């Protein structure tokens, strides 16, 4: 359940980092729009994703490169480097992510629930990266790149999964190649 929740926020960020090019800003908006809806909280209306205009793709390319650099740093596993990522992600969150909450009684106990309001691409990136960079859950350990030559897409391994490829098609293609090579040797 917790993993499902995490993946909801992390997967769009990994898919964003995997974009080989950004020909149109809508490629990015399509990835993150569902998060804006998912961050609907309580009775208030869901935020609408703030978007850039066509022609402003360079700004998203810059963000993508930043995410790739952060992922590369996290994957080194070095604590000091991870702290730098945490500080940068924290700054990005402070400027973009609003937390919305409410207090209520649950079985007579006062409970405060909060949720992030992700109404912009940078807010989505910042919150997803924060989940990955967290020392307690260590989700950064699950971030992999597809082993099919020429792919390199980012994906997240779940639990004890040994997944090596970003999707079943790429796993199949790699297996076909392997078989092809095997036959070639005979
Ligand atoms: Zn792949």
**Ligand 1 center to 66 CA (angstroms):** 21
**Ligand 1 center to 6 CA (angstroms):** 21
150 and 67 in one domain? no
- Look at residue 43 in the predicted model and tell me its pLDDT: 42
Q: pLDDT by residue for the chain (186 residues), tens digit each?
A: 578 888 999 999 999 999 999 999 999 999 999 888 666 654 456 667 889 999 999 999 999 999 999 999 999 999 999 999 999 999 999 999 988 888 999 999 999 988 888 889 999 999 999 999 999 999 999 999 999 999 999 999 987 788 999 999 999 999 999 888 766 544
159 and 94 in one domain? no
- Look at residue 48 in the predicted model and tell me its pLDDT: 76
156 and 134 in one domain? no
- Look at residue 186 in the predicted model and tell me its pLDDT: 44
- Look at residue 38 in the predicted model and tell me its pLDDT: 64
- Look at residue 92 in the predicted model and tell me its pLDDT: 96
User: Per the structure, how many domains does the chain have?
Assistant: 2
22 and 105 in one domain? yes
151 and 139 in one domain? no
- Look at residue 176 in the predicted model and tell me its pLDDT: 93
HEC per residue, the chain: CHHHHHHHHHHHHHHHHHCCCCCCHHHHHHHHHHHHHHCCCCCCCCCCCECCCCCCHHHHHHHHHHHHHHHHHHHCCCHHHHHHHHHHHHHHHHHHCEEEEEEEEECCEEEEEEEEECCEHHHHHHHHHHHHHCCCCCHHHHEEECCCCCCCCEEECCCCCCCCCCCHHHHHHHHHHHHHHHHHHC
**Ligand 1 center to 163 CA (angstroms):** 11
**Ligand 1 center to 116 CA (angstroms):** 30
- Look at residue 40 in the predicted model and tell me its pLDDT: 60
The CATH number of whichever domain residue 139 belongs to comes to: 1.10.3300
156 and 141 in one domain? no
161 and 128 in one domain? no
CA gap 14, 25 in Å, rounded: 17
64 and 44 in one domain? yes
123 and 47 in one domain? yes
* pTM across the whole model: 0.88
159 and 108 in one domain? no
- Look at residue 41 in the predicted model and tell me its pLDDT: 57
- Look at residue 35 in the predicted model and tell me its pLDDT: 85
- Look at residue 182 in the predicted model and tell me its pLDDT: 64
92 and 26 in one domain? yes
72 and 116 in one domain? yes
Domain range for 172 is 146-186
């Amino acid at each position: 359940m917790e993993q499902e929740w995490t993946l909801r926020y992390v997967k769009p960020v990994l898919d964003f980092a995997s974009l080989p090019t950004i020909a149109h800003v809508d490629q990015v908006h399509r990835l993150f729009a569902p998060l804006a809806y998912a961050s609907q909280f309580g009775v208030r209306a869901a935020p609408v994703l703030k978007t850039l205009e066509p022609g402003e793709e360079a700004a998203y390319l810059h963000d993508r490169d930043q995410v790739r650099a952060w992922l590369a740093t996290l994957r080194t596993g070095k604590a000091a480097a991870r702290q730098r990522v945490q500080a940068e992600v924290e700054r990005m969150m402070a400027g973009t992510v609003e937390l919305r909450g409410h207090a209520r009684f649950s079985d007579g106990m006062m409970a405060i629930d909060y949720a992030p309001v992700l109404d912009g691409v940078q807010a989505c990136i910042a919150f997803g990266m924060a989940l990955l960079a967290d020392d307690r859950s260590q989700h950064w350990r699950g971030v992999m790149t597809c082993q099919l030559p020429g792919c390199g897409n980012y994906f997240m391994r779940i639990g004890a999964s040994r997944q090596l490829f970003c999707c079943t098609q790429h796993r199949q293609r790699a297996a076909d190649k392997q078989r092809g090579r095997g036959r070639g040797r005979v």
